[in-house]
Structure 1
């Protein structure tokens, strides 16, 4: 059974309920896992006012599709949806959604975590925060690299 895949990079908010409905449709799916990441109000000890995400569309979409393809080689998934927002985001805004449906929960959890770990280290997004101490670009974290290395 081929995995159905939806990947989007967008400025608009996403509809979690619609994503869940789509992921849940295959009757062969026994598990649906959704991860939703949000813009934190605190980072590195500073209050965050806004987050700006920049990207090169063709490069970003190619990288996201490659990450999902790698996950599809490792786990038998029915459906995958990956949405990443770009542009100006406020604290509390939803920034990323990774959803998978699989026959079993173990595969669903692992595939979802794999996609998210690789997003943090392989996806070409550039993040700039506006904090109470000014603007700063966000650097890759060692903990993100370690998380991806476990796969």
Structure 2
């Protein structure tokens, strides 16, 4: 009898459990991105990434700091301990960046700080290749494929990157 009661109550409770397709999770990750147009990766590393990385690495509760310097771009990724107040951590990162911002080279944009949000990540990435040149492939992606994908039910947005835009 007790078994039957538990089974019925369990089945009833199962129908009432709230399920979210994309639960609200705050990942303890902050990224700092800085553009330095026209600079080589070595120059970006030395003049942008290293000074910023040195300053942001002093923020409390940081578990790991990594960075990537490429042509004209610096990306610093900070992993924090789980349970860290990420709003407070982001403010501390911005404060530390403001201390070194004046020492960045002329031509470098102001560093942008982002809290990692998995809901902004793409669900699908498609690549396009063919016999045409990069301008024609970009035009095909922009004019034809983008439109077709945007018409599909459930598609929130479509972004095209890469190739070469017609000048």
TM-score, with structure 2 as normaliser: 0.25
Higher strand share: 1
TM-score, with structure 1 as normaliser: 0.26
Higher helix share: 2
Bigger RCO (CA 8 Å, 6+ sep): 1
Higher radius of gyration, 1 or 2: 2
